[in-house]
Amino acid sequence: MRQFDFIVIGTGIAGLSVAIKAAAHGSVAILTKRLNADSNTNWAQGGVACVTANDDTIDRHVADTLDAGAGLCREDVVRAIVAEGPERIAELIDIGVKFDQVEVDGRLEFDLGREGGHSRRRVLHSADHTGREISVKLLAAAVATPGIEFFENHYVIDLITTAKLGFVTEDRAIGLYALNQTNGEVETFRSDRIALCTGGCGRVYQYTTNPEVATGDGVAMAWRAGATVANMEFIQFHPTCLYHPKKKSFLITEALRGEGARLIDREGREFVNDIDPRGALAPRDIVARAIDNQIKRTGHPCVYLDVSHKDRAYLEERFPTVYHACMEVGIDPASEPIPVVPAAHYQCGGVRTDINGASSLRGLYAVGEVACTGLHGANRLASNSLLEGAVIAHRAVEHMRLKFPVNGRPPTEFPLPPWQSGDAQDVDELVVIYHNWDEIRRLMWDYVSIVRTRKRLLRAAARLHNLKREVHEFYWNFKVTTEMLELRNLVQTAALIVECASLRHESRGLHYTRDYPLPDHEHGPADTLVRRY
């Protein structure tokens, strides 16, 4: 058994920031199910929203965030994250992160991008590969920090809690079991301070901008451990994912629309203007719904993003990731519109936490996309997520070290039993896992995506109920494998999305249902909370 003062699961901006800061107070293990560089953060194109410009204020950023969040943001959380953002950005710059700058009147200023829902230019970026820039620099800093041990290819199966072990005491997280995918062994890790930084769940849907690792692991394992989960119905669909058979999950950054790219239909009409005066720069829920409606109404499989008003040199320099990806599949953005469709992009709900990332389970923290802090409400404002990851990581470490001081003693007095495989067999039929995986992703896309109905949610719930039973049997009868564990988390996360969506009898932000097409003003906005016990 391995023992650490802090355990961090995930290597995106949240995980690496927690690990680096925690290492000043004790030993740190950082586990990731693939390689250190495989995270959602690494894929982020747009940037980090942060107040740095003279014409911008904390109040404006707060107001834009609250407006996008459609009444469900927690204003104290929004204000804290926005106000503490500049300090965390300065720390990123200190470790070497380079945000693009421009010369204005002989002085260098940040080259600020603009995205939907922002009333000002305030998005710091490194061309269109901001996430990669941050990941690379944070990873280098973490590797150079003494006291952090990395465990790549370690897939956390489940958290260990005092309640699960049958101790009669306040329930708390005291460790975890992880599958070492290199040798197939299940290892036990022990700690009193565990930070879930596992990202989101885009892979629950057939079409997504997320990498393969985004299978809802954190939400599923926290929920199984008894932590409260909230607002999972608010899945953000990014309006512009490349529509091309060879590049299915490729994001076309919203920053292009910030630079004047036009969102048009086959006839060249800017159809979003019919719905919202902000047009293609309205918040994402509005734009994605407008595209979904356009596609369903016309029967044409996609809409288009036209950025041909910008010349080739500009596109290559400012948007190299998008430019080269399009050219690779034979689309020249400098001269022709890019075909795009909406795709699942961001989980706005998650493990319910307070303003310091503390979940309802003692000792368990959730930071980044896996968490529901109250920043995003019913719809995340573009580029607010990297900011949240950096700010809450800092707060979580401060909270952990004050609430659970590291004093050099063994982390917990409770004995942890090793993993028992019993007489489990090797998995004999991988085809069953792949079939179930496909079925979940298709049914979530067809029944639980941009436009929902009560009937579709009921259908999804019934199918997921059966799938959960099958997966459960599989889990208990066979030795654990990566595929099986991902499927188990995927089906659990999908079920939580459907459960939350079914509990919300109104349309608000990202949750739109034909049965209740308006917000419920009578009862007012409220979070959807799901508890295991």
Binding site for ligand SIN (CB under 6 A): 45-46, 251, 253-255, 346, 382-383, 385
Active site residue 395: no
For ligand SIN, the closer of residues 259 and 336 by Cβ is 259
Of 60, 56, 58, the C-alpha closest to 68 is 60
Q: Taking the complex as a whole, how short is the minimal distance between the CB of residue 269 and ligand SIN, in angstroms?
A: 23
CB 53 within 8 A of CB 60: no
Q: Taking the complex as a whole, how short is the minimal distance between the CB of residue 278 and ligand SIN, in angstroms?
A: 16
Q: Please calculate the CA angle 333-338-341 and round it to the nearest 5 degrees.
A: 155
CB 392 within 8 A of CB 14: yes
CB 351 within 8 A of CB 229: yes
For ligand SIN, the closer of residues 254 and 265 by Cβ is 254
CA distances from 24 to 71, 140, 141, 191, 401 (A): 38, 16, 13, 16, 10
For ligand SIN, the closer of residues 159 and 251 by Cβ is 251
* Phi, psi of 30, deg, nearest 5: -120, 120
Coil vs helix vs strand at 218 = helix
For ligand SIN, the closer of residues 46 and 350 by Cβ is 46
272 vs 294: CA distance, rounded Å: 9
* Phi, psi of 133, deg, nearest 5: -60, -45
Q: Please calculate the CA angle 210-216-222 and round it to the nearest 5 degrees.
A: 150
Beta strands in 168-209 (DSSP E): 173-180, 186-190, 194-196
Q: Taking the complex as a whole, how short is the minimal distance between the CB of residue 162 and ligand SIN, in angstroms?
A: 38
Helical axes 75-94 vs 130-143, angle rounded to 10°: 70
Q: Taking the complex as a whole, how short is the minimal distance between the CB of residue 236 and ligand SIN, in angstroms?
A: 8
Q: Taking the complex as a whole, how short is the minimal distance between the CB of residue 113 and ligand SIN, in angstroms?
A: 9
CA distances from 205 to 432, 437, 441, 446 (A): 18, 10, 4, 9
For ligand SIN, the closer of residues 67 and 354 by Cβ is 67
Burial grade of 254 (CB within 10 A; 0-12, 13-18, 19 or more): buried
Residue nearest to ligand SIN (CB): 46
Coil vs helix vs strand at 274 = helix
Of 105, 102, 96, the C-alpha closest to 127 is 102
End-to-end CA distance of the chain: 29
Please tell me the number of Cα atoms within 13 Å of 394 on its side-chain side: 16
Q: Taking the complex as a whole, how short is the minimal distance between the CB of residue 238 and ligand SIN, in angstroms?
A: 6
For ligand SIN, the closer of residues 46 and 175 by Cβ is 46
> Is the sign of the CA dihedral 19, 21, 22, 25 positive or negative?
positive
For ligand SIN, the closer of residues 202 and 411 by Cβ is 202
174 vs 192: CA distance, rounded Å: 5
Q: Taking the complex as a whole, how short is the minimal distance between the CB of residue 31 and ligand SIN, in angstroms?
A: 25
Which H or E run includes 457? helix 454-477
Take residue 468 and report the two structure tokens written for it. Answer: 């959960």
Task: Say which of 284, 380, 401, 508 is annotated catalytic.
Answer: 284
For ligand SIN, the closer of residues 195 and 343 by Cβ is 343
Take residue 431 and report the two structure tokens written for it. Answer: 């085809």
For ligand SIN, the closer of residues 43 and 474 by Cβ is 43
- Using DSSP bridges, classify how beta strands 48-49 and 101-104 pair: parallel, antiparallel or unpaired: unpaired
Q: Taking the complex as a whole, how short is the minimal distance between the CB of residue 251 and ligand SIN, in angstroms?
A: 6
Q: Taking the complex as a whole, how short is the minimal distance between the CB of residue 446 and ligand SIN, in angstroms?
A: 24
Positions marked catalytic? 284
